[in-house]
A and B are shown apart, each in its own frame.
Chain A
Amino acid sequence: MDRRHRQGRAGDSIGSAPAVAIAGAAKTYPNGTRALCPVTFDVAAGEFVALLGPSGCGKTTLLRMAAGLIAPSEGSLRWWGRARPPFDDPQRKLAMVFQSPTLMPWARVDANARLPLDLAEVARPQADAAVSDALGVVGLADVAHRYPRELSGGMQMRVSIARALTVAPALLLMDEPFAALDEFTRHKLDDDLAALWRGRGLTVLFVTHSIQEAVYLATRVVVMAARPGRIVADVAIDTPQPRSAAFRGSAEFAALCARIGALASGSLR
């Protein structure tokens, strides 16, 4: 098998191994609830993969598996060819951005962004440099000393993204990060995220329930369906980067959205 072959030569082939490879992973909770049927797909280094599906399709479960937060009840996951999430490998950090900003309300913005580095006991000057860089990238350098409650929802989400960026993640996992924001803010953050992904060579696995957002951002859209949670399609979006607001208004965009919408609702299966 290809995967086993890679494992045997992990040392020299790690560059070509997918950032995360999901092989027949399924999740059944102890109470018998089947959250996810076996799914198989890879996220290659440098890809921006959108996991698209309705509520209850298991996309968050899948993302939490990719984060190493929960183990699959069947099947397996591999990160850069290895069977465990690379928590201790500074070159292959995982970072997650949650649905809500999940900031510590008692800590200032810079302390919030520094949290993963503080927990890893990174030296303070080095950590502060990474934090001011990350806050600069998300455009929040001037609110570093504010408290989260003084910021708007969109700004709080940017802090959350900055916090993920401080560890220079090789794989960025995002769980509907902009779902709670208004459309104007969401479009702005989508553009900023796309620029970050291109500029920093990130690999992103992005959960969303918005077809438009998935098509706009992703190089690949993995379409999921609910009850039971499963993958119904895996569609490459070949539109070249960078994409602009004009792409959102194009016929190509509308056609892609219609096609993926149809796949999602099952009429083309």
Chain B
Amino acid sequence: MTRERMLRIAAPLVVAAMLLGAWQAIVVAYDVPSYLVPSPSRIARAMVEDRALLAASLGVTTGIALTALALAIVAGVAVALLFAQSRLIEASLLPYAIVLQVTPIVAIAPLIIIWVHDTRLALVLCATVVAIFPIISNTSLGLRSVDPGLADLFRMSRASRWQTLVRLRVPSALPYFFAGLRVSSGLALIGAVVAEFVAGTGGQGAGLAYQILLAGIQLNVPRLFAALVLITLAGIVLYIVVSAIATRALAHWHESEVPPG
């Protein structure tokens, strides 16, 4: 591992340790009650004590987010490929994709939950609606961002539409797709949490959002923080995984992923 990489990993950890240390010191020094601001050690204890409950909820929330992300990838790429077929199709349908994007999920989630009987499916659909737009817009931009010289070369070689799509447009779109995917991975998780807040589902299929709602009502603030930390960690892990996939796919050729030096 190079010195620079060590620094990039160590420096944020040092900052985190300092902030957590200060937090702990202030809470202990001023004797802040844990139902207002729990100390980091109190949150850690809540995480250990409630691990069965929290792990189950984490599973539910990440399950919904990942399903929604997969659905957003499949549907988003399909829509982008459709847009790439003709300007007319794109011009006719893009406004509706934008409508989907600008309508707040909290406003349409109740409708989806009323219409779709299966709650889990309803939550997945809400999260998909939130996550899909960056994939549609980035991928369709990428499919159009083709080197004009290469496009000429394909025309001179009498390439079929299919050849042009597979050999030129799809590879050209990959960096754009991955940029969209990074944004969408975070949005899928946010969508899953927001939709669950609206749905307020409890019981067996309770996700982290429900645990936060419930802990808030019960003034169990340490558990609320613990759930919050898990959502954040899940988002970070998802981002790291998506970034690693993008690096793997693009590292040998695209500027965004080529290692420096």
Chain A residues near B (Cβ < 8 Å): 64, 67-69, 87-88, 94-96, 98-100, 102, 104-107, 115-116, 118-120, 147-149
Contacts and interface: CB of A to CB of B under 8 A. Distances in A.
Contacts of A107: 171
A119 B171 contact: no
Contacts of A118: 167
Interface stretch (B11-19, B24-32, B144-152): B144-152
Nearest to B252: A147
B231 to A, nearest CB: 36
Contact of B152 (A88, A98, A105, A115): A98
A68 B156 contact: yes
Contacts of B149: 98-100, 102
B149 to A, nearest CB: 3
21 contacts: A64-B152, A69-B156, A96-B153, A98-B149, A98-B153, A102-B147, A102-B149, A102-B150, A102-B153, A104-B167, A106-B171, A107-B171, A115-B153, A115-B157, A116-B153, A119-B154, A119-B157, A119-B158, A119-B163, A120-B157, A147-B252
Given A104-B171, A106-B174, A119-B159, A149 B154 contact: no
A148 B255 CA distance: 12
A100 B155 CA distance: 17
In the complex, which of the residues A96, A98, A106, A147 has the most CB atoms of chain B within 10 Å of its own CB atom? A106
Contacts of B229: none
Contacts of B174: 106
Contacts of B253: 105-106, 147-149
A94 B253 CA distance: 29
Contacts of A120: 157-158
Nearest to B170: A106
Given A104-B150, A106-B174, A96 B156 contact: yes
A69 B155 CA distance: 7
A96 B152 contact: yes
B254 A116 contact: no
A218 B65 CA distance: 64
B258 interface: yes
A66 to B, nearest CB: 11
B139 to A, nearest CB: 16
Contact of A67 (B152, B171, B258): B152
Contacts of A104: 150, 167-168, 171
Contacts of A116: 153, 157
Interface in B227-254: 252-254
Contacts of A100: 149
A100 B147 CA distance: 10
Given A119-B158, A147-B252, A147-B253, 20 more contacts: A67-B156, A94-B156, A96-B153, A98-B149, A98-B152, A98-B153, A99-B149, A102-B147, A102-B150, A105-B253, A105-B254, A106-B252, A106-B254, A115-B153, A115-B157, A118-B167, A119-B154, A119-B159, A119-B167, A120-B157
A101 to B, nearest CB: 8
Interface string B123-165: 0000000000000000000000001011011111111000100
Contacts of A68: 156
A67 B152 CA distance: 9
Contacts of B171: 104, 106-107
Nearest to B152: A69
B178 to A, nearest CB: 13
B258 A149 contact: yes
Contacts of A149: 253, 258
Nearest to B254: A105
A106 B149 CA distance: 15
Contacts of B158: 87-88, 119-120
A149 B254 CA distance: 9
B2 to A, nearest CB: 21
A165 B220 CA distance: 74
Nearest to A99: B149
Contacts of B155: 69
In the complex, which of the residues B147, B156, B171 has the most CB atoms of chain A within 10 Å of its own CB atom? B156
